[in-house]
Structure 1
Amino acid sequence: MKSSSRPLAALAMVVLIGAGCGSNAPSETGNEHATNQDAAVKFAECMRDNGVSQFPDPDASGALTIDGVLNGSSIDPNGAAWKRASAACKDLQPSGFTGPGKRSPKQQSAGLEFAQCIREHGVKDFPDPLNGEPLVDTNRIPSAATSDGMTILNAAMQQCRDLGAKAIKGQR
């Protein structure tokens, strides 16, 4: 896989993890999906309107996570544009999206278990996540740039997705 495709593939994988963070309870309304999607789209539009031009739209399920937005992108969560847009769009922030910040001790522990699981499933150079940084950063995984690297990483992430969800669930 070309290295220019790595960030997009990683973004898709992290969004898939984030999508697993929602409740498994049945929807009380048939429009919950549409409502989540609409909220996430409005938040993305607000972020772009307020200076974060590369802020992506949510996926078809409405999933939008901080890891998914930042991983592999050139968006700087410590920059003035991000801070200004975050403040302006705070009331539109969809549930499940978390601002830059540290994981709780329980979440960080799950993140470390997630990293170990990924290593056990074939990605030997997968680093432990740094607290306050994205859970998955393909720029820190040299094997992701190899011809089969992203395929192996994707398969490992599928095997370890429950631990990944625990690491980002409720992070606010």
Structure 2
Amino acid sequence: MTHRGSARATARSLSSSSPRLLLAAVALVALTGAGCANTPAETGDIGDRAGPTGPPPGPAELQELLEERRESSRCMRENGVEDFPDPDADGHVLYYGDDPDMMSASEKCDALLPEGRG
């Protein structure tokens, strides 16, 4: 006994969500590609400051990180990536845009971040 009806429903379900899946896949590939040039210590996660086994940063260190990332975000906007966001409360910056100025702005603005925080 075959279940052709359910297979068609699944195919329709996948095809109707495929634009969203494609967009998510493109964003993931772009973010992964952007991170390929970084060594593990340069991923930009807040935990990098304490090392892989150390404690999370304290409040003063978090404030320093937030200010560095805000300056970098400001720089990105000033260099053509107008919709580049400020960091969230934990210091993470998520950008899903495909601005053509992204690479040149990154080259200029990554210098504002101490090594290992870009």
Q: TM-score range by the shorter chain?
A: 0.5 to 0.7
Is the alpha carbon distance of 1:97 and 1:157 closer, same or farther for their aligned partners in structure 2, counting shifts above 3 Å? Answer: farther
- Given the alignment of the two structures, is residue 127 of structure 1 paired with residue 85 of structure 2, yes or no? yes
1:64 aligned residue:
40
1:5 aligned residue:
26
Moved over 6 A (4+): none
The number of residues matched between the two structures is: 89
Is the alpha carbon distance of 1:121 and 1:65 closer, same or farther for their aligned partners in structure 2, counting shifts above 3 Å? Answer: same
Q: Which amino acid aligns with 1:138?
A: Y
2:110 is aligned, of 141, 145, 161, to 161
Measured after TM superposition, the shift of residue 163 of structure 1 is 1.9
Contact persistence 2:69–2:86 (CA under 8 A) = yes
Question: What is the alpha-carbon distance in structure 2 between the residues aligned to residue 14 and residue 109 of structure 1?
Answer: 22
RMSD: 3.7
Measured after TM superposition, the shift of residue 104 of structure 1 is 1.9
Question: What is the alpha-carbon distance in structure 1 between the residues aligned to residue 88 and residue 106 of structure 2?
Answer: 18
Contact persistence 1:119–1:125 (CA under 8 A) = yes
Measured after TM superposition, the shift of residue 120 of structure 1 is 0.6
TM-score by length of 1: 0.39
User: What are the ranges of 5 or more consecutive residues in structure 2 without an aligned counterpart?
Assistant: 1-21
User: What are the ranges of 5 or more consecutive residues in structure 1 without an aligned counterpart?
Assistant: 20-62, 70-92
Q: Which amino acid aligns with 1:157?
A: S
Measured after TM superposition, the shift of residue 112 of structure 1 is 0.4
Matches within 5 A, 1:19-98: 19=38, 63-64=39-40
2:64 is aligned, of 106, 109, 112, to 106
1:117-153: per-residue Cα shift (whole Å, max 9, x none)?
Answer: 0001100111111131523x124xxxx14xxx2x321
With a CA cutoff of 8 Å and minimum separation of 6, indicate the structure with the bigger relative contact order.
1
Q: For the pair shown, which has the larger CA radius of gyration, 1 or 2? A: 2
1:44 aligned residue:
none
Q: Which amino acid aligns with 2:79?
A: H
Measured after TM superposition, the shift of residue 66 of structure 1 is 8.6
